[in-house]
Amino acid sequence: MTTRLIKGFHVSQASVGLRLIHWLLGIVIHIPALLYFQFKKRKQPATATLLDQQMIQQLSTDYDQRIDYFNRDPNENEKQAFISKEYALLKKTEQQYRLNYPQFFEQLLQSRRFLLLTLVPGFFLYLFYLIYHHGLIRFIFERLVATVFVIFSVIVIVFTLLYFSPQDPAQNILGDQATAAQRENFEALFGLDQPYLVQLTDRLHGFITFDLGTTYQGNEDVLLNIENRFPVTLTLAFLSLVLAIAIAVPIGIISAVKVQSFWDYSFMFLALIGLSIPSFWQGLIFILTFAIELDWLPSTYIPGQFASLIMPVIVLGTGLSATIARMTRSEILEVMHEDYIVTAKAKGLSNRRIFTKHALPNAWIPILTVIGLQFGAMLGGASVTEKVFNIQGLGSYIVDKQFIPDIPAILAGVVYIAVMISVVNLLVDLLYALLNPRLRAELND
């Protein structure tokens, strides 16, 4: 435990920001420790004077011994010059190694008695040390802190845009025939007559306490609406992602292995078409073909019926699979020209072993980046597909509430999407650490 605390303490001294956090978390411990350090430091001058006298006496003795050894006559000026020179060098060395407060505090951390006495007031400081002593734990912790910062930033930015929007929720909901008194009652009921900072503070407090309020239209519980709609959007995005990976990765690998062949040109042409087709148009074509003409699949989403998800999943996964396929091909082709691939070929390794053991693992990292970003985009951008297939998901919910604008509902939906995107990015970063040896070495350093 002591070793971990000291290692975490060393990491906390690596940058100005970490040192500031180190002082803020341990201010209750640092104040008495710093006073004790200054008290000990004031006692040093008297001791230092005695040590200086002993040092000068020892240098004088050393000079006399040298004179006797070389059978030379003593010279007082030469003796004083020797003593002055050596004394200056010794003082300079002593100044370099003089104990400072970080070193003094590190010595305190090595004492179990000190740790037991300061366990309660220094709990958060020691927890900070334990988190930062290990590279992977520190990496996850910093990502989580960044996630919290992103979420609160999203709340502030989205609320500010909605607050200064020219649209009037009272007029949009009550209609043009509503009287001024009715509008004032509406604004007072939902707190819209309060200043900007008051409303923003209420929204932030609501998210912290998980009290998201009620919608302006229908007076529905926002948290309950999100809980009911988000699973549908998440299921749609996840199935689309699985379908896209299952199709795109093999296509990209085949195109890279058989570059400039019939298969390469055919697959990349299909990928280009997939990127070019608008999702709403593709959805309408699917409905006309497979639902109306052939009557194979339901035209709209039916909860609990998996067949009604087939067309939305294919539509949403088409553009994603095209992006992943092109990225997979380009990254594998780039990796195949690296020096370590040439070295592997020179060693006589088979093409299959070179591809599976050296090329593909190194090409996965940028591919994972694209997959993570696209998955987050699908969570927020699935609204078009949800509208086409009449899916009561989170994307269509946000779009419907945007025209009011229903601030509690929009904020909740956007924050949920931001949380999911942050979680996905965290998982992608962790996969980086597992797949990239250089990143693992940096984290453990």
Q: Enter the tokens of residue 280.
A: 């709403």
DSSP letters, 148-159, are HHHHHHHHHHHH
- What number of residues does the chain have? 445
CB-hemisphere CA count at 13 Å for 407?
A: 27
- What is the Cα 415 distance to its own chain's centre? 16
Is residue 104 a contact partner of residue 98, using CB atoms and an 8 Å limit? no
Domains for the chain: give ranges and CATH numbers. Answer: 2-133 (no CATH), 222-444 (1.10.3720.10)
Residue 221: what are its φ and ψ, rounded to 5°? Answer: -70, 120
According to the model, what pLDDT value does residue 46 have? 45
According to the model, what pLDDT value does residue 347 have? 80
Total Cβ atoms within 10 A of residue 8: 23
**pTM confidence score:** 0.66
- Could you give the CA distance from residue 105 to residue 97 in angstroms, rounded to a whole number? 15
Q: Enter the tokens of residue 187.
A: 């604004």
Is residue 9 a contact partner of residue 114, using CB atoms and an 8 Å limit? no
- Could you give the CA distance from residue 29 to residue 109 in angstroms, rounded to a whole number? 11
Residues of the chain with pLDDT under 50: 46-48, 50, 96-97
- Could you give the CA distance from residue 126 to residue 112 in angstroms, rounded to a whole number? 13
DSSP letters, 36-91, are HHHHHHHTHHHHHHHHHHHHHHHHHHHHHHHHHHTT----HHHHHHHHHHHHHHHH
